[in-house]
Amino acid sequence: MKLTTIYKSIILSIPVLFILGCNDLLDVEAENSLSGNVFVTDQNFEDALNGAYVNLGGIYDGVDGGELYGGGFQLMGTLLSRQKNSLFFWRSSEAPNYQDFMDKDVLDINLTVESNWRRAYETINIVNGILTNISNIDNADLRERIEGEALAIRGMIYFELVRFWAPQYEASTLNSPAVPILLEPVNDVNDLPDLTQATVIDVYTRAITDLEGAEALLGGVTLDRTRINVDVCRAFLARIAMQQNDFNTALGYLNQVVPQYTLSATAMGAFNNTSISTEDVFVVQQNSESTSGNIATRTGLTAHLGSLPDIGFAALNINYEVLGNNVENSPLFYSADDRYTLQDDLEVTSTSSDIEPTAAYYNDVINTLATSTAKFKRSEANIPVIRLAELLLSRAEAALEDGGFASPVTGTPLADLNAIRTRAGLPALLDTLTADEFYDSLIVERNRELIFEGIYFHDLKRLEANGRRVFGISFLSPLDPSLILPIPQAECDASPGLCD
């Protein structure tokens, strides 16, 4: 009897012991995975910041795309700014999600819009996590650098969000609804705030505040040109000021940055570099392992724009001639221009390494009527995000505007524009041009120099807002609401009230 009691107590204690004693056994961890508050070690801050760069650069992660500076911003901007016609068209069969941009009819269910939106906020969420926990870094130098880089990333993204997803900055739109501003990290589904669209001015202010904060924090940091440094902050502050048509502010920042850099020897030398060039202010770093996309992933600039079978599927078909024709928004290239150099001897068996370094365009070996740009011919090379050529052209414009649009144009504006022209093999402009003549030349030069970089689309908007309309877009005003990206349907559905 007694024995039975002992047995019984042993038996009954088994489950109790298991449950009580084994709770720790349930705390298992998987390899290459971390959880909880990761912002506890300096290394984790560094790694998380790198994670933000990965997203900022749209490095392929197998999810749903959203290449941001690794291609999304460039492709959306480029396609929105170009007139669709039979000589410049998008092969919808290869990349259907970009067709809407060519059609100037971007639906709120467009997956490219959705993925870039999502990834932009994913990046913001990462830097918000860093910024919220930044005080956990004890070393002041390290803390300031990481905080500076994180702020700069957030500022850059809010700027891109507001200029893609909201009306152009001008007096009449300052209080128009733009995009939500999130400054706290969202880690748990229960942390999601009620979202509202902040106004255009609020988002601009946020971007400027973040970048100015970054500029102050990074001012004392030794320049590391593979990352965001004080110059990048200033270059972006200049970009923002240009977008606001605030030429005086822009000029101030440009005068600080421009002298730090020198143009590459050749026009095409600014592209497809595997190391930082003298012209690069900020690039998306790519290598064969970490790239925004290639022919295998079918994402990124090289895959969409490249036509040789080893690099891309030639989604964009460009008739070479049309780039020199006088059609709407044409760069009006002519033969002397190095940026219009065509290599037409590639064959079906050619690979990207057969493209000459000097070639700006090469023949599409499959669709023999078309050509492709050589700006992004290597998926493992850096993608320039902001480079000296843009800053020089911006400074020329800012100085001209800030100087009262005075004729004849001489001095800084002329020197800056001529620096770009002469590098491309074009004759320098004389110092006898009127402001109007010079301005026309300057804007065409921006179109030529920055083509396929997604910059000119935003230029058209700010030029229009500045009352200096140069060209329309597919017969629309650049300020037409159809050129503003919609907030994705998926976001509106998941965030009640946001899109009302």
Partner 1 sequence: MYMAFSLSAQVTLRGTVTDAGNKGIAGATVQIEGTSISALTDATGAFSIQLTDGYETLVISAEGFSPQKIYLTGHTSLNISMKSSSKGNVVNTGIGSQSKDELTSSVSSISAEDVSPAPLINLEQANQGVTAGLFVQNSSGTLGQPTQVRIRGGSSLSASNQPLYVVDGVPLTSQNQSNINPSNIASIEILKDASATAIYGTRAANGVIIITTKDGGSGKMQVNVDYQFGVSETPKKLDIQNGDENLLQTFEYILRGYEDFVIEGRGYEEIDLIADGQTYDNIDRATLEALYNSGVDEVTFVSTFFTSAPPITFNIPGFYNQLRASGSTNWQNEVFRQGTSHRANVDFQGGSEQLGYFASAGYSTQEGILIGNKFDRFNGSLSLDSKITDKLSANLNLNYIYTKDNRLPENQDLGFPLQAIVLPASDTYDPNNNYQIDVRSLEYNPLTEVNYSSNVASNNSVLGGLGFTYQVNDKLSFDVNGGIDLAKYETDLFQGPQTQEGAGTGNGRTRVSDENVTNKIFNGWATYTTDVSGSDKLSVILGGSYQDSKATFTFSDSFFPRDAAIPGSAFAFVSAYTRVSYSLGDQFDFQVSGRMDGSSKFSEANRYGFFPAVSAGWKLNNAPFFNVSTVDLLKLRASYGLVGNTPTDDFLYRQNYYRSTRYGVEATLEPANLANENLKWETTSQFNVGLDFGIMNSRITGSFDYYIKTTSDLLFPVPVSLTSGFSTIFDNIGEMENKGFEINLSSTNVQTSDFSWTTDLNLSSNKNTITELNNQQAIVGVNAFLEGQSAGVFYMKKFVGVDPDTGNALYALDEEGELTTDNWSEAPRMVVGDPNPDLFGGLTNSVAYKNFEFSFMFQFVMGVDLYFQTGEFLSNSGILNLGQSQDQVNRWYAPGDVTNIPKLDPANNFPLSSSRWLSSGDYVRLKNITLTYNFPESVLGSLGGLRNMSIYVSATNLLTFTDYIGYDPDVSYFDPLDGIIGQNISRGVDNFNTPQPRIIMTGIKIGL
From 206-214, 317-325, 399-407, 491-499, give the range in contact with partner 1 by CB under 8 A.
491-499
- x/- mask, partner 1, residues 323-352, rule CB under 8 A, reads ----------------------------x-
Beta carbon of residue 34, minimum distance to partner 1 (angstroms, whole number): 4
**Closer to partner 1 by Cβ: residue 32 or 326:** 32
Q: Kindly provide the residue ranges of all beta strands, DSSP E only, lying in 239-287, ordered along the sequence.
A: 280-284
**Closer to partner 1 by Cβ: residue 59 or 251:** 59
Which of 248, 220, 218 is closest to 233 using CA atoms? 218
Q: Is residue 343 within a helix (H) or strand (E), and if so which, with residue range? A: strand 342-343
Query: Residue 1 interacts with partner 1 (CB under 8 A)?
Result: no
Do 449 and 268 contact (CB within 8 A), yes or no? no
SS3 78: helix
From 138-146, 262-270, 467-475, 489-497, give the range in contact with partner 1 by CB under 8 A.
489-497
**Closer to partner 1 by Cβ: residue 9 or 335:** 9
Q: At what angle do helices 388-402 and 247-257 cross, to 10 degrees?
A: 140
**Distance between CA atoms of residues 229 and 135, nearest Å:** 21
Among 195, 228, 238, 323, binds partner 1 (CB under 8 A): 195
From 30-38, 198-206, 240-248, 397-405, give the range in contact with partner 1 by CB under 8 A.
30-38
**Distance between CA atoms of residues 339 and 10, nearest Å:** 86
Query: Residue 122 interacts with partner 1 (CB under 8 A)?
Result: yes
- x/- mask, partner 1, residues 277-316, rule CB under 8 A, reads --------x-xxxx-----x------------xx------
Query: In sequence order, which residues have a C-beta less than 8 Å from that of residue 332 and are 6 or more positions away?
Result: 324, 325, 326, 444, 447, 448
Beta carbon of residue 217, minimum distance to partner 1 (angstroms, whole number): 20
The residue type at 22: C
Q: Is residue 139 within a helix (H) or strand (E), and if so which, with residue range? A: none
Among 48, 385, 417, 424, binds partner 1 (CB under 8 A): 48
**Closer to partner 1 by Cβ: residue 290 or 466:** 290
Give the torsion sign (CA, 316, 162, 225, 141). negative
User: What is the end-to-end Cα distance of the chain in Å, rounded?
Assistant: 76
Query: Residue 54 interacts with partner 1 (CB under 8 A)?
Result: yes
Which of the residues 145 through 164 are near partner 1 (CB under 8 A)? none
Do 240 and 204 contact (CB within 8 A), yes or no? yes
Which of the residues 93 through 112 are near partner 1 (CB under 8 A)? 93
Which of 318, 371, 331, 305 is closest to 86 using CA atoms? 318
The residue type at 175: N
Query: Residue 444 interacts with partner 1 (CB under 8 A)?
Result: no
Beta carbon of residue 63, minimum distance to partner 1 (angstroms, whole number): 9
Query: Residue 171 interacts with partner 1 (CB under 8 A)?
Result: no
Which of 374, 361, 379, 355 is closest to 290 using CA atoms? 379
Among 67, 100, 114, 416, binds partner 1 (CB under 8 A): 114
Among 33, 326, 335, 368, binds partner 1 (CB under 8 A): 33
Query: Residue 30 interacts with partner 1 (CB under 8 A)?
Result: yes
Mark residue 71 as left, alpha or beta (left: phi above 0; alpha: psi -120 to 50; beta: remaining).
Answer: left
